[in-house]
Amino acid sequence: MLTKVRYKLVYNRSHRLNRLGEGLVEIECSQLGRRIYFTTHTYLLPGQFYRGSVINTPNAKGLNYALYKMIQDIEQVELEYIKRGVEVNLPMLKEAVRAHISPAAKMSEFGVQVVEQSDRKHLTKQNYQTLLNNMEKFRKGSLITDIDYQYIVSYDKWLRDSGIAHNTRISRLRLLRALLNEAKKRDIISTNPFDRFRIQQMISKKGYLTFEQLHKLERLTLYGNEDKVRDAFLIGCYTGLRFSDITTLRDEHLVNGWLTRNMGKTGYMVDIPINELFGGKLLQIINKYGTISSLTKSLGSNCAVNRTLRSILDRIGVDNKIPFHSSRHTFGTLLVQQHVPITTIQKLLGHQKVTTTQIYSEVDRRAITNDLKKLTKK
Protein backbone atom coordinates (compact mmCIF):
# COMPACT_ATOMS: atom_id res chain seq x y z
CA MET A 1 0.00 0.00 0.00
CA LEU A 2 1.33 3.41 -0.99
CA THR A 3 2.29 5.62 1.95
CA LYS A 4 2.44 9.31 1.08
CA VAL A 5 5.30 11.42 2.40
CA ARG A 6 4.25 14.25 4.72
CA TYR A 7 5.96 17.64 4.59
CA LYS A 8 6.25 20.50 7.05
CA LEU A 9 8.56 23.33 8.07
CA VAL A 10 10.44 22.99 11.37
CA TYR A 11 12.47 25.60 13.20
CA ASN A 12 15.77 25.26 15.09
CA ARG A 13 15.67 21.45 15.21
CA SER A 14 19.22 21.34 16.64
CA HIS A 15 18.31 23.81 19.41
CA ARG A 16 21.33 25.91 18.53
CA LEU A 17 21.34 29.52 17.38
CA ASN A 18 24.01 31.19 15.27
CA ARG A 19 26.05 34.22 16.33
CA LEU A 20 23.15 36.48 15.35
CA GLY A 21 20.77 34.54 17.57
CA GLU A 22 18.98 32.95 14.60
CA GLY A 23 17.82 29.38 14.05
CA LEU A 24 17.64 27.38 10.81
CA VAL A 25 14.35 26.58 9.07
CA GLU A 26 14.25 23.06 7.55
CA ILE A 27 11.77 20.97 5.57
CA GLU A 28 10.82 17.78 7.42
CA CYS A 29 9.74 14.79 5.30
CA SER A 30 8.17 11.93 7.26
CA GLN A 31 6.98 8.48 6.24
CA LEU A 32 6.20 5.41 8.37
CA GLY A 33 7.83 6.89 11.45
CA ARG A 34 11.03 7.89 9.66
CA ARG A 35 12.19 11.42 8.86
CA ILE A 36 14.65 13.21 6.61
CA TYR A 37 15.39 16.92 6.44
CA PHE A 38 16.28 19.43 3.74
CA THR A 39 17.80 22.78 4.59
CA THR A 40 16.13 25.95 3.32
CA HIS A 41 19.20 28.08 4.08
CA THR A 42 16.79 30.44 5.87
CA TYR A 43 17.64 31.70 9.39
CA LEU A 44 15.13 33.48 11.65
CA LEU A 45 14.99 34.90 15.15
CA PRO A 46 12.97 32.81 17.64
CA GLY A 47 10.03 35.21 17.51
CA GLN A 48 9.82 35.15 13.72
CA PHE A 49 8.52 31.57 13.26
CA TYR A 50 5.29 30.12 14.59
CA ARG A 51 3.41 26.94 13.69
CA GLY A 52 5.10 26.42 10.35
CA SER A 53 5.04 30.02 9.12
CA VAL A 54 7.25 33.10 9.14
CA ILE A 55 5.83 35.99 11.21
CA ASN A 56 6.87 39.35 12.65
CA THR A 57 9.16 40.35 9.80
CA PRO A 58 8.50 42.81 6.93
CA ASN A 59 9.22 40.19 4.26
CA ALA A 60 7.22 37.40 5.94
CA LYS A 61 4.89 36.98 2.94
CA GLY A 62 7.76 36.59 0.48
CA LEU A 63 9.63 34.18 2.76
CA ASN A 64 6.56 32.01 3.29
CA TYR A 65 6.00 31.84 -0.47
CA ALA A 66 9.62 30.84 -1.09
CA LEU A 67 9.61 28.20 1.69
CA TYR A 68 6.37 26.56 0.54
CA LYS A 69 7.61 26.63 -3.05
CA MET A 70 10.58 24.55 -1.84
CA ILE A 71 8.16 22.03 -0.33
CA GLN A 72 6.17 21.91 -3.57
CA ASP A 73 9.33 21.25 -5.60
CA ILE A 74 10.28 18.31 -3.38
CA GLU A 75 6.74 16.94 -3.35
CA GLN A 76 6.64 17.18 -7.14
CA VAL A 77 9.55 14.73 -7.31
CA GLU A 78 7.52 12.31 -5.17
CA LEU A 79 4.43 12.74 -7.36
CA GLU A 80 6.41 11.98 -10.51
CA TYR A 81 7.38 8.64 -8.99
CA ILE A 82 3.78 7.92 -7.98
CA LYS A 83 2.46 8.71 -11.47
CA ARG A 84 4.68 5.95 -12.81
CA GLY A 85 3.63 3.43 -10.22
CA VAL A 86 6.87 3.62 -8.26
CA GLU A 87 6.53 3.41 -4.48
CA VAL A 88 8.66 6.16 -3.00
CA ASN A 89 10.77 5.84 0.13
CA LEU A 90 12.69 8.57 1.89
CA PRO A 91 16.21 7.55 0.69
CA MET A 92 14.96 7.60 -2.92
CA LEU A 93 13.45 11.04 -2.41
CA LYS A 94 16.57 12.41 -0.74
CA GLU A 95 18.90 11.18 -3.46
CA ALA A 96 16.67 12.39 -6.29
CA VAL A 97 16.46 15.87 -4.80
CA ARG A 98 20.16 15.96 -3.92
CA ALA A 99 21.21 14.96 -7.43
CA HIS A 100 18.62 17.26 -9.03
CA ILE A 101 17.31 14.22 -10.88
CA SER A 102 13.69 13.20 -10.86
CA PRO A 103 12.16 10.05 -12.29
CA ALA A 104 10.75 12.35 -14.95
CA ALA A 105 14.29 13.15 -16.11
CA LYS A 106 15.23 11.89 -19.54
CA MET A 107 17.62 8.95 -19.64
CA SER A 108 19.86 10.93 -21.99
CA GLU A 109 20.19 13.76 -19.44
CA PHE A 110 20.84 11.39 -16.56
CA GLY A 111 23.44 9.46 -18.57
CA VAL A 112 25.34 12.62 -19.49
CA GLN A 113 25.39 13.72 -15.86
CA VAL A 114 26.66 10.35 -14.62
CA VAL A 115 29.41 10.19 -17.24
CA GLU A 116 30.55 13.77 -16.68
CA GLN A 117 30.78 13.21 -12.93
CA SER A 118 32.80 10.00 -13.33
CA ASP A 119 36.53 9.45 -13.79
CA ARG A 120 36.00 7.04 -16.71
CA LYS A 121 38.46 7.05 -19.60
CA HIS A 122 37.78 9.30 -22.58
CA LEU A 123 37.01 6.36 -24.90
CA THR A 124 34.55 4.90 -22.38
CA LYS A 125 32.77 8.25 -22.11
CA GLN A 126 32.49 8.34 -25.90
CA ASN A 127 30.95 4.85 -25.85
CA TYR A 128 28.36 6.01 -23.30
CA GLN A 129 27.49 9.03 -25.46
CA THR A 130 27.07 6.74 -28.48
CA LEU A 131 24.70 4.58 -26.41
CA LEU A 132 22.61 7.58 -25.35
CA ASN A 133 22.41 8.87 -28.94
CA ASN A 134 21.42 5.40 -30.07
CA MET A 135 18.67 5.16 -27.44
CA GLU A 136 17.26 8.50 -28.59
CA LYS A 137 16.99 7.07 -32.11
CA PHE A 138 15.22 4.01 -30.75
CA ARG A 139 12.72 5.86 -28.58
CA LYS A 140 13.12 9.62 -28.31
CA GLY A 141 12.75 11.26 -24.91
CA SER A 142 12.68 8.07 -22.82
CA LEU A 143 12.55 8.73 -19.08
CA ILE A 144 14.60 6.81 -16.54
CA THR A 145 11.49 5.06 -15.25
CA ASP A 146 10.36 4.20 -18.80
CA ILE A 147 13.16 1.67 -19.03
CA ASP A 148 11.62 -1.55 -17.80
CA TYR A 149 12.07 -5.19 -18.80
CA GLN A 150 9.92 -4.82 -21.93
CA TYR A 151 11.86 -1.71 -22.99
CA ILE A 152 15.12 -3.67 -22.85
CA VAL A 153 13.65 -6.58 -24.83
CA SER A 154 12.39 -4.17 -27.50
CA TYR A 155 15.67 -2.23 -27.59
CA ASP A 156 17.65 -5.46 -27.94
CA LYS A 157 15.44 -6.55 -30.86
CA TRP A 158 15.76 -3.10 -32.46
CA LEU A 159 19.56 -3.36 -32.29
CA ARG A 160 19.41 -6.79 -33.96
CA ASP A 161 17.06 -5.59 -36.68
CA SER A 162 19.26 -2.53 -37.28
CA GLY A 163 22.14 -4.81 -38.26
CA ILE A 164 24.29 -3.85 -35.28
CA ALA A 165 27.18 -6.30 -34.84
CA HIS A 166 26.73 -8.88 -32.07
CA ASN A 167 29.55 -7.65 -29.84
CA THR A 168 28.55 -3.99 -30.33
CA ARG A 169 24.99 -4.86 -29.28
CA ILE A 170 26.22 -6.66 -26.18
CA SER A 171 28.51 -3.75 -25.32
CA ARG A 172 25.62 -1.25 -25.50
CA LEU A 173 23.40 -3.41 -23.31
CA ARG A 174 26.16 -3.65 -20.72
CA LEU A 175 26.61 0.12 -20.70
CA LEU A 176 22.86 0.60 -20.27
CA ARG A 177 22.86 -1.88 -17.39
CA ALA A 178 25.67 0.10 -15.73
CA LEU A 179 23.69 3.35 -16.01
CA LEU A 180 20.63 1.72 -14.47
CA ASN A 181 22.78 0.32 -11.67
CA GLU A 182 23.88 3.89 -10.99
CA ALA A 183 20.24 5.04 -10.97
CA LYS A 184 19.47 2.29 -8.45
CA LYS A 185 22.40 3.31 -6.23
CA ARG A 186 21.04 6.84 -6.23
CA ASP A 187 17.59 5.48 -5.27
CA ILE A 188 16.05 6.96 -8.43
CA ILE A 189 14.72 3.49 -9.28
CA SER A 190 14.07 0.70 -6.80
CA THR A 191 15.13 -2.23 -9.03
CA ASN A 192 17.22 -2.70 -12.15
CA PRO A 193 15.19 -4.37 -14.94
CA PHE A 194 18.40 -6.07 -16.09
CA ASP A 195 18.07 -8.30 -13.01
CA ARG A 196 15.56 -10.27 -15.12
CA PHE A 197 17.27 -9.85 -18.49
CA ARG A 198 20.20 -12.08 -19.44
CA ILE A 199 22.81 -10.40 -21.61
CA GLN A 200 24.48 -12.79 -24.04
CA GLN A 201 28.22 -13.37 -24.06
CA MET A 202 30.43 -11.61 -26.58
CA ILE A 203 31.74 -13.73 -29.43
CA SER A 204 35.46 -14.21 -29.05
CA LYS A 205 37.45 -13.14 -32.10
CA LYS A 206 40.92 -14.21 -31.13
CA GLY A 207 43.21 -13.91 -34.13
CA TYR A 208 46.37 -15.97 -34.16
CA LEU A 209 49.18 -17.08 -36.46
CA THR A 210 49.46 -20.62 -37.75
CA PHE A 211 52.77 -22.48 -37.52
CA GLU A 212 53.34 -21.76 -41.22
CA GLN A 213 52.72 -18.03 -40.75
CA LEU A 214 54.93 -17.97 -37.66
CA HIS A 215 57.80 -19.54 -39.62
CA LYS A 216 57.36 -16.96 -42.41
CA LEU A 217 57.55 -14.18 -39.86
CA GLU A 218 60.70 -15.66 -38.33
CA ARG A 219 62.42 -15.84 -41.72
CA LEU A 220 61.38 -12.36 -42.89
CA THR A 221 64.34 -10.01 -43.40
CA LEU A 222 63.79 -6.78 -41.47
CA TYR A 223 65.92 -3.91 -40.21
CA GLY A 224 65.87 -1.29 -37.49
CA ASN A 225 62.63 -0.70 -35.63
CA GLU A 226 60.69 -3.22 -37.73
CA ASP A 227 63.16 -5.91 -36.71
CA LYS A 228 62.64 -5.06 -33.02
CA VAL A 229 58.85 -5.03 -33.32
CA ARG A 230 58.89 -8.43 -35.08
CA ASP A 231 61.15 -9.90 -32.38
CA ALA A 232 59.00 -8.49 -29.57
CA PHE A 233 55.93 -10.03 -31.21
CA LEU A 234 57.76 -13.36 -31.46
CA ILE A 235 58.55 -13.17 -27.73
CA GLY A 236 54.80 -12.97 -27.16
CA CYS A 237 54.26 -15.98 -29.43
CA TYR A 238 56.94 -18.00 -27.60
CA THR A 239 55.93 -17.04 -24.03
CA GLY A 240 52.31 -15.87 -24.05
CA LEU A 241 53.28 -12.63 -22.29
CA ARG A 242 51.18 -9.51 -22.81
CA PHE A 243 52.70 -6.41 -24.41
CA SER A 244 52.88 -4.63 -21.04
CA ASP A 245 54.77 -7.59 -19.54
CA ILE A 246 57.17 -7.77 -22.48
CA THR A 247 58.10 -4.08 -22.27
CA THR A 248 58.95 -4.55 -18.57
CA LEU A 249 60.76 -7.86 -19.12
CA ARG A 250 64.29 -7.74 -17.69
CA ASP A 251 67.24 -10.10 -17.53
CA GLU A 252 66.62 -10.91 -13.86
CA HIS A 253 63.35 -12.57 -14.92
CA LEU A 254 65.37 -15.21 -16.79
CA VAL A 255 67.11 -17.75 -14.55
CA ASN A 256 68.32 -21.28 -15.40
CA GLY A 257 66.10 -21.72 -18.45
CA TRP A 258 62.98 -20.34 -16.75
CA LEU A 259 61.16 -17.06 -17.22
CA THR A 260 59.60 -16.15 -13.88
CA ARG A 261 57.65 -12.98 -13.17
CA ASN A 262 54.41 -11.51 -11.90
CA MET A 263 51.85 -10.62 -14.56
CA GLY A 264 51.24 -6.88 -14.55
CA LYS A 265 47.49 -7.17 -15.23
CA THR A 266 46.61 -9.80 -12.63
CA GLY A 267 49.63 -10.02 -10.33
CA TYR A 268 49.63 -13.78 -11.02
CA MET A 269 53.07 -15.43 -10.96
CA VAL A 270 54.02 -17.41 -14.07
CA ASP A 271 56.90 -19.84 -14.59
CA ILE A 272 57.69 -20.42 -18.27
CA PRO A 273 60.26 -23.07 -19.34
CA ILE A 274 61.79 -21.23 -22.29
CA ASN A 275 64.08 -24.12 -23.34
CA GLU A 276 61.14 -26.50 -23.84
CA LEU A 277 58.78 -24.12 -25.62
CA PHE A 278 59.04 -23.59 -29.41
CA GLY A 279 62.49 -25.15 -29.58
CA GLY A 280 64.01 -22.58 -27.24
CA LYS A 281 63.73 -19.84 -29.90
CA LEU A 282 63.42 -17.15 -27.24
CA LEU A 283 67.07 -17.78 -26.39
CA GLN A 284 68.01 -17.00 -29.99
CA ILE A 285 66.39 -13.58 -29.68
CA ILE A 286 68.16 -12.92 -26.39
CA ASN A 287 71.52 -13.87 -27.93
CA LYS A 288 70.80 -11.58 -30.88
CA TYR A 289 70.53 -8.52 -28.60
CA GLY A 290 72.95 -9.63 -25.88
CA THR A 291 70.34 -8.98 -23.17
CA ILE A 292 66.55 -9.08 -23.23
CA SER A 293 66.48 -5.54 -21.80
CA SER A 294 68.25 -4.17 -24.87
CA LEU A 295 65.15 -5.06 -26.89
CA THR A 296 62.29 -4.58 -24.45
CA LYS A 297 63.40 -1.15 -23.21
CA SER A 298 63.56 0.23 -26.75
CA LEU A 299 59.96 -0.54 -27.73
CA GLY A 300 57.52 2.34 -28.19
CA SER A 301 53.88 2.55 -27.21
CA ASN A 302 51.45 -0.26 -27.90
CA CYS A 303 49.72 1.91 -30.50
CA ALA A 304 52.96 2.69 -32.34
CA VAL A 305 54.08 -0.94 -32.23
CA ASN A 306 50.73 -2.10 -33.64
CA ARG A 307 51.07 0.30 -36.59
CA THR A 308 54.46 -1.16 -37.43
CA LEU A 309 53.23 -4.71 -36.86
CA ARG A 310 50.36 -4.27 -39.33
CA SER A 311 52.84 -3.40 -42.07
CA ILE A 312 55.02 -6.41 -41.24
CA LEU A 313 52.18 -8.95 -41.15
CA ASP A 314 50.81 -7.66 -44.44
CA ARG A 315 54.05 -8.73 -46.13
CA ILE A 316 53.60 -12.36 -45.13
CA GLY A 317 49.93 -12.46 -46.13
CA VAL A 318 48.48 -12.24 -42.61
CA ASP A 319 45.39 -10.19 -41.79
CA ASN A 320 46.92 -6.84 -40.90
CA LYS A 321 44.13 -6.17 -38.41
CA ILE A 322 45.68 -8.68 -36.01
CA PRO A 323 47.05 -6.70 -33.02
CA PHE A 324 50.12 -7.36 -30.90
CA HIS A 325 47.96 -9.13 -28.30
CA SER A 326 47.36 -11.88 -30.86
CA SER A 327 50.86 -13.13 -30.07
CA ARG A 328 49.42 -14.33 -26.76
CA HIS A 329 46.54 -16.02 -28.60
CA THR A 330 49.04 -17.60 -30.98
CA PHE A 331 50.92 -19.06 -28.02
CA GLY A 332 47.79 -20.58 -26.49
CA THR A 333 46.29 -21.87 -29.73
CA LEU A 334 49.48 -23.49 -31.02
CA LEU A 335 50.02 -25.26 -27.69
CA VAL A 336 46.46 -26.63 -27.91
CA GLN A 337 47.25 -27.91 -31.40
CA GLN A 338 50.30 -29.69 -29.99
CA HIS A 339 48.00 -31.42 -27.46
CA VAL A 340 49.49 -29.72 -24.41
CA PRO A 341 47.07 -30.27 -21.47
CA ILE A 342 44.71 -27.33 -21.01
CA THR A 343 45.62 -27.02 -17.31
CA THR A 344 49.30 -26.64 -18.26
CA ILE A 345 48.43 -23.89 -20.76
CA GLN A 346 46.32 -22.25 -18.05
CA LYS A 347 49.36 -22.03 -15.74
CA LEU A 348 51.65 -20.77 -18.52
CA LEU A 349 49.20 -18.01 -19.46
CA GLY A 350 48.49 -17.10 -15.86
CA HIS A 351 44.74 -17.64 -16.15
CA GLN A 352 43.00 -17.98 -12.80
CA LYS A 353 40.11 -19.94 -14.36
CA VAL A 354 40.53 -22.84 -16.75
CA THR A 355 37.35 -21.74 -18.55
CA THR A 356 39.28 -18.72 -19.83
CA THR A 357 41.93 -21.00 -21.31
CA GLN A 358 39.34 -23.28 -22.92
CA ILE A 359 38.61 -20.48 -25.40
CA TYR A 360 41.74 -21.58 -27.26
CA SER A 361 40.32 -25.07 -27.66
CA GLU A 362 37.18 -23.54 -29.19
CA VAL A 363 39.30 -21.44 -31.56
CA ASP A 364 41.14 -24.57 -32.67
CA ARG A 365 37.84 -26.42 -33.26
CA ARG A 366 36.56 -23.57 -35.43
CA ALA A 367 39.77 -23.65 -37.45
CA ILE A 368 39.41 -27.41 -38.00
CA THR A 369 35.78 -26.97 -39.07
CA ASN A 370 36.69 -24.23 -41.53
CA ASP A 371 39.50 -26.33 -43.02
CA LEU A 372 37.14 -29.27 -43.53
CA LYS A 373 34.57 -27.01 -45.21
CA LYS A 374 37.25 -25.84 -47.64
CA LEU A 375 38.09 -29.46 -48.48
CA THR A 376 34.49 -30.33 -49.28
CA LYS A 377 34.26 -27.43 -51.74
CA LYS A 378 37.22 -28.72 -53.78
Question: Which among 103, 153, 106, 159 is positioned nearest to 134, based on CA atoms?
Answer: 159
Count CB atoms within 10 A of the CB of residue 375.
Answer: 7
Question: Which among 121, 128, 78 is positioned nearest to 107, based on CA atoms?
Answer: 128
Question: Which among 266, 369, 284, 274 is positioned nearest to 331, based on CA atoms?
Answer: 274
Q: What is each CA distance from 209 to 214, 283, 323, 334, in whole angstroms?
A: 6, 21, 11, 8
- DSSP bridge pairs for 11: 25
Sheet with 23-31, side-by-side order of all strands: 6-11, 23-31, 34-44
Q: What letter represents residue 317's amino acid?
A: G
Per-residue pLDDT of the chain (378 residues; tens, 9 = 90+): 678 999 999 999 999 999 999 999 999 999 999 999 999 888 999 999 999 999 999 889 989 998 998 999 899 888 888 887 778 889 888 877 876 665 556 788 888 878 877 777 777 888 898 999 999 999 988 888 789 999 999 999 999 898 887 878 899 999 999 999 988 887 777 789 999 998 887 765 567 888 999 999 999 999 999 999 999 999 999 999 999 899 999 999 998 999 999 888 778 889 999 999 999 999 999 999 999 989 988 888 888 898 899 899 989 888 757 888 889 989 998 998 888 898 999 899 988 888 777 776 655 555 555 555 555 555
Residues 6 or more apart in contact with residue 169 via CB below 8 angstroms: 156, 159, 160
Question: Which among 333, 235, 227, 214 is positioned nearest to 282, based on CA atoms?
Answer: 235
pLDDT in tens, 116-157: 777 777 778 888 989 999 999 999 888 887 899 999 999 999
Rounded Cα distance between 355 and 351, Å, is: 9
Q: Give the distance, in angstroms, between the CA of residue 58 and the centroid of all CA atoms in the same chain.
A: 56
Burial of 110 (0-12, 13-18, 19+ CB in 10 A): buried
In the chain the domains, ranked by start, together with CATH numbers, are 6-98 (no CATH), 107-196 (1.10.150), 211-377 (1.10.443.10)
